[in-house]
Amino acid sequence: MKNGKKSILLLLIPFAITIIIFLKNAWVSDDAYILFRSIDQIFVGNGPVWNPHERVQVYTSPLWYFVLIIVRLFSNDVYLITIITSFVLWLATVVIIKKIFNNNYIFFLSILLFAASTAFFDYTSSGLENVLAYLLIAIYLLNYLGFSGYANTEMKVKPKLRMKVTLLLLGLILCVRHDLALLLLPPTIHVVSKNSNIFSKKQWFFWVTVSLSPFILFTLFSLIYYGFPFPNTAYAKLNNGINKVEIFIQGFVYLFSSLINDFITLGVITGALLLTFSTSFDTYFKYIGYGIILNLMYVVIIGGDFMQGRFLSFSYLVSVIILLLWFNKFQSNKTLLATFTLVCFYLLFYPHTPFNSPLNYSYKRVKMGIGDERGFYFDDLSLYKYIQRDKDNNVFPDYPWANFGNKFKEANANIIIKANIGLFGYHSGTEKIIIDRYAIADPLLARLPALKPWRIGHFRREIPYGYRISVADGTEVIDNPKLNEFYKMLKIITQDKDLFAPQRIKTIFLFNLGAYNHLLPR
């Protein structure tokens, strides 16, 4: 009976800890409000756009966008339903992690490690797609590790079904973020090659097609509706005209920033990689390690992000699971107790962890172009502040950009040039036109070179003379004749009402082949 109570406590305590830390640290980022405005455009009849006059994909994650559209059907309070959705997804992830370990002590330790990493836990909420990716990656690993025998051995799944799930999850992760395929592709290739005789050639073709169908279908939709296969965010951030060496160096700066501000994240990832490629681990783990390396290489190549640690969170999740599976198999009770103690000391006494973060946490410094994104917005956009809001006047968030947006919504002006468009754009309503200086929501500016000095993820563009008038009046009077011709072609794609007009289809085809790039300034 005593052992039964002890087992229940070892299960309930980590669940209680993760729930409390989630609710205490829950928040929504400014970038999430860019997504929210696009969702509102659907509900007012403008379609999945951002500005009402043109079709532009401002969301990076189609699957996360779709999930939020579904929950938006139940409430207009997009802030609260996003927090609730994130909470449910996080709890589901915790349940899957418990199934992977099937050991209450190791499960408890995993929760402490997740609670120690700001890069990981800050984005269990935030309104961004990280938490959805966490769940899919955790399910993928549970399924994948079943091939090796390291995961929960009580789960009896037939190999054919396990393979189908592996392929399907790879397809779904592509719909969360394209780049996350790099994390799961090496282990998928390995498990497919090891089990190549499980299906006939026709069956392989069928199941690969089925698994990739959500990604393929959305890409076709994006190409037809928006005119481009990738989100506008990709063109704005990756097509910036900045020297690739500078961006590459910034990628290492991103890693360095994480190391000095959130030591455990890169520490655990490094430890997992070293362990993975040791001789004691089998090949199933080595291919997971290859995925982590590819993921980190991509992060460095694109220069990282302005949100400290966000792009390291996926590798951290995988690394914690790898380390603790090894720990569960080879370590003694004394080592387990010592590790528990060490992690608890880190949680309590490291300068900033999700565990010791206060309810009024605020940190608005930007170093090397990288900031603590939750620290920048949390004191105004936390769940705690939402609960304390002025319910009579419905003022939330009481933030300058939101207040400015509310004023612009009531103003006579219909168009404005603005940077930091999240809170401002959402509170401006759905009918105003906002030209985004950072080009996240602007298809023309996304194809122009960025101005210097630049900050990673915030690439300002020069507003071409005559562009504001062109947008406001629906004309093409940009002063630069070549750029004006480029804009005319772009308008055919983003603003023509007939999606299947032959001229539009032809223009989409030529545009994506780069036929009009010679018209852009260099």
pLDDT in tens, 285-324: 999 999 999 999 999 999 999 999 999 999 999 999 999 9
Query: Is residue 442 a part of any domain in this protein?
Result: no
Amino acid in position 426 = Y
Residues of the chain with pLDDT under 50: 1, 153
Q: How many CB atoms lie within 10 A of CB 153?
A: 9
**Are 338 and 481 within one domain?**
no
Instruction: State the Cα–Cα distance between residues 374 and 446, nearest whole angstrom.
Output: 26
Query: Is residue 404 a part of any domain in this protein?
Result: no
Structural contact between residues 103 and 328, judged by C-beta atoms closer than 8 angstroms? yes
Give the end of a domain, one of 349, 370, 398: 349
Give the end of a domain, one of 299, 321, 349: 349
Sign of the C-alpha dihedral computed for residues 485, 488, 492 and 494 taken in this order:
positive
Structural contact between residues 116 and 123, judged by C-beta atoms closer than 8 angstroms? no
**Are 134 and 259 within one domain?**
yes
Looking at residue 28, its pLDDT comes to 97
CA angle 173, 153, 93 (to 5 degrees): 35
* 51 CB-side CA count, 13 A: 24
Query: Is residue 143 a part of any domain in this protein?
Result: yes
Sign of the C-alpha dihedral computed for residues 512, 517, 520 and 522 taken in this order:
positive
Considering just the CA atoms, what is the radius of gyration of the chain in Å?
24
Instruction: State the Cα–Cα distance between residues 149 and 3, nearest whole angstrom.
Output: 27
DSSP state letters, 398-433: --HHHHHHHHHHHSS--EEEESS-HHHHHHT-SSSE
Distance between alpha carbon 139 and the CA centroid of its chain, in Å? 17
Amino acid in position 490 = L
Nearest in space to 96 (alpha carbons), one of 62, 146, 158, 25:
146
Please state whether the peptide bond connecting residue 453 to the residue before it is cis, i.e. omega within 30 degrees of 0: yes
Structural contact between residues 122 and 25, judged by C-beta atoms closer than 8 angstroms? yes
Give the end of a domain, one of 321, 349, 377: 349
Query: Is residue 406 a part of any domain in this protein?
Result: no
**Residue 330, CA distances (Å) to 83, 250, 350 in order:** 38, 39, 28
Q: Could you identify the residue written with the tokens 């409430």? A: 75
**Are 177 and 326 within one domain?**
yes
Instruction: State the Cα–Cα distance between residues 405 and 264, nearest whole angstrom.
Output: 39
Backbone angles phi, psi at 367, to 5 degrees: -120, 130
Q: What's the structural domain count of the chain?
A: 2
**Are 336 and 477 within one domain?**
no
- Determine the structural domain holding residue 495 and report its residue range: 464-522
Query: Is residue 94 a part of any domain in this protein?
Result: yes
Residue 65 in 3-state DSSP? Answer: helix
**Are 345 and 468 within one domain?**
no
Across 313-468, the runs of DSSP E, i.e. the strands, are 366-367, 370-371, 415-418, 433-436
Query: Is residue 483 a part of any domain in this protein?
Result: yes
Looking at residue 394, its pLDDT comes to 73
Query: Is residue 169 a part of any domain in this protein?
Result: yes
Looking at residue 215, its pLDDT comes to 96
Report residue 421 as tokens: 């468009």
Report residue 103 as tokens: 């050991």
Nearest in space to 80 (alpha carbons), one of 404, 378, 310, 387:
387
Report residue 347 as tokens: 């949680």
Provide, rounded to the nearest whole percent, the portion of the chain with pLDDT above 70. Answer: 97
Looking at residue 1, its pLDDT comes to 45
Query: Is residue 38 a part of any domain in this protein?
Result: no
Looking at residue 151, its pLDDT comes to 56
Amino acid in position 485 = E
